[in-house]
Amino acid sequence: MPSYLFIESRDPFETRDVEEGYRLLAELAAKNTPVTLFLVQNGVLVARQGARAEQFAALAANPRVKVLADTFALQERGIPTNALLPGVQASDMDALVDLLMVDDQKAIWH
């Protein structure tokens, strides 16, 4: 069964098409397709507690969606891991490589 790895580098407050990616993930998860959202670069900004992004908050709260945030990007932006929304886990490039190498994983960068 294929799984999907969506690497989001953009901030939904910067461009609306980020929300299209969130919607795609929610729809895949609703079909019981394993999905992971890995946030890099400005993509991590939405993971802060208090960020007003309902679609992202719904994804983070969805038990069928794994949401990871690049620690390097968090540190660059002064976001401590204890300021992340529940459901978002700090991660790193080693973990991203492992995810990319999962058999039948379909990877998308946005």
3, 4, 34, 41: residue in contact with another protein (rule CB under 8 A): 41
Candidates 21-29, 51-59, 60-68, 86-94 — which segment interacts with another protein by CB under 8 A?
86-94
From the CB of 93, what's the least distance to another protein, in Å?
4
> Total residues at the site for another protein (CB under 8 A)?
19
> Can you spell out the DSSP letters for 8-75?
E-S-TTT-THHHHHHHHHHHHHHTT--EEEEE-GGGGGGGBTT---HHHHHHHH-TTEEEEEEHHHHH
From the CB of 47, what's the least distance to another protein, in Å?
16
Q: What are 6's two structure tokens?
A: 């969506």
From the CB of 63, what's the least distance to another protein, in Å?
26
